[in-house]
Amino acid sequence: MNASLLASSFRVGVQSLRVNPLRTVLSTLGVVIGVASLVAVLAVGDGAESFAREQIATTTDLQTLLVVPNTGQTIDGVRIPRATYPVFTLADVDALARVLGPLATVSATVTGGARLTLPAAAPARATVVMAVTPGAEERLRPRFAAGRFFNVAEVRSAQRIAVVSPALASAAHLSLGDTLRLEGHAFRVIGILAPAAQRVAPLGMTALVPFTTADSAMAPLAALRAPQIMVRAARVEVVDTVRVRVERWAAARLGAGWKDEASVETSSPMRLDQARRAIQVFKMVTGAFAGISLVVGGLGIMNVLLAAVTERTREIGIRKAAGARQRDILIQFLAESVAITGAGSVLGVVLGLGGAFAITAVIRSASDAPIYAAATWQTVGVAAIISVVVGLAFGTFPALRAARLSPIDAIRHE
């Protein structure tokens, strides 16, 4: 079929919709309701899933893996220190990050204590010191009363800077730009954590310093410090994949007997399976609601078009007697179906997004849960494409019925 004939058939189909505006409005209303329901379900569902994932990431360790050096071994129930154990460095963090790619973020941390240098009349004080790489920010998720976290360049250049807890800032009378002396070494304060964000040592004093300054920030030890590597999986679903890759890296880094040198620690498999099943069930329920909305809208289209075929039987007979072929009639009714679904999808998307934002606003007001509708171009695109597919799918049967009518029987129809 050439393009002009196809365009003519579509033009006739669209013009026929103007003949009976009430029927067109009613059929479009069914599509609007169906598409609006679909968009609302997708937007609210995506927002709720995002909130659930955020809660899992911030309040649990389900996505966290630790590579911990074995600094001792238990023999006959007695803990015996090991003479040697792996000491992970910034180069190890970079190597593991390359292995994992976008599946996870990698950081290193080592914790110790330090004496504070205060005015002579002040009593002796000490603080917990955590030496970390910038990737640890993904796990700590700090919020600041003032200042910022240190960046990659500052860590690699071993700059003596610090982020302090509210308790430490109060005890040492610190503000941004002041000097904090740890073990006699000067560290410039570039950030002060907000009280609500103090996740580290919530009842004490804590200083976060760059990983490369650990030795100067902490009290000396007789043995080498044993940093841990922390791996944060991007999603719950990839934790097992991340663990396998981490163990392969550990085997390559430490040798065949790596399990005697270090351990890879994760949350219990049962907790991970529970989280994965909960997300999967949520997606299935959301999909079921979306499917119901589509079926309702599609049935509305089919019913209206079937009624249109009955009302316009004589018209179809006259057109076929004048030379219209079956495919001309088929294309005409499919054009009407697509026109209805196209117009309805635009209104449905607007109505669905408005409803989704209203629903999430009510949820936030009633539960104080920060749930927001996820209005993405993907959601709008899926709704638009599906609406056209539904129009074609549910409009095919009425179109075929109209195309197969006998011209004589159609003209004689009352």
Q: Are 10 and 333 in contact (CB under 8 A)?
A: no
As a whole number of angstroms, the distance between CA 32 and CA 354 comes to 13
Backbone φ and ψ of 377, nearest 5°: -65, -30
Record the tokens describing residue 379, joined without a space.
Answer: 């959601």
pLDDT computed for residue 199 by the predictor: 46
Helices 326-367 and 21-59: crossing angle in degrees, nearest 10, is 40
Record the tokens describing residue 156, joined without a space.
Answer: 């690699």
pLDDT at position 393 over 60: yes
pLDDT digits (tens, 9 = 90+) for 221-247: 877 888 899 998 888 888 889 999 999
Q: Percentage of the chain surpassing pLDDT 70?
A: 74
As a whole number of angstroms, the distance between CA 336 and CA 349 comes to 20
Give the range among 348-357, 361-370, 389-398 with minimum mean pLDDT.
Answer: 389-398
Measuring CA to CA, how many Å separate 371 from each of 37, 44, 51, 60, 131?
19, 8, 6, 19, 34
- Residue 340 CB partners (closer than 8 Å, separation 6+): 17, 24, 27, 28, 31, 301, 304, 391
Backbone φ and ψ of 356, nearest 5°: -65, -45
pLDDT digits (tens, 9 = 90+) for 309-338: 666 667 667 777 777 777 777 777 777 777
Neighbours of 105 (CB within 10 A): 20
pLDDT classification of 197: cutoffs 50, 70, 90: very low
Q: DSSP of 234-291, one letter per residue?
A: SSGGGHHHHHHHHHHHHHHHH-TTHHHHEEEE---HHHHHHHHHHHHHHHHHHHHHHH
Q: Are 43 and 375 in contact (CB under 8 A)?
A: yes
Strand partners, 186: 181
pTM (whole model) above 0.95: no
pLDDT digits (tens, 9 = 90+) for 101-115: 999 889 899 999 898
Mean pLDDT value of segment 75-83: 78
pLDDT classification of 407: cutoffs 50, 70, 90: low
Give the range among 14-18, 339-343, 383-387 with minimum mean pLDDT.
Answer: 14-18
As a whole number of angstroms, the distance between CA 318 and CA 407 comes to 7
The CA-based dihedral angle spanning residues 161, 167, 169, 173, taken in that order and rounded to the nearest 10 degrees? -150
The one-letter amino acid code at 98 reads: R
Mean pLDDT value of segment 62-68: 86
Among candidate residues 31, 51, 63, the one with its CA nearest the CA of residue 237? 63
Strand partners, 187: 180
pLDDT computed for residue 186 by the predictor: 92
Residues 213, 216, 218: CA angle, nearest 5 degrees: 100
pLDDT computed for residue 395 by the predictor: 66
As a whole number of angstroms, the distance between CA 26 and CA 35 comes to 14
- DSSP secondary-structure letter at 165? -
Backbone φ and ψ of 226, nearest 5°: -120, 85
Record the tokens describing residue 392, joined without a space.
Answer: 């074609």
pLDDT at position 28 over 50: yes
- The SS3 assignment for 365 reads helix
pLDDT at position 356 over 90: no
Could you tell me the sign of the dihedral formed by the alpha carbons of 181, 185, 191, 197, in that order? negative
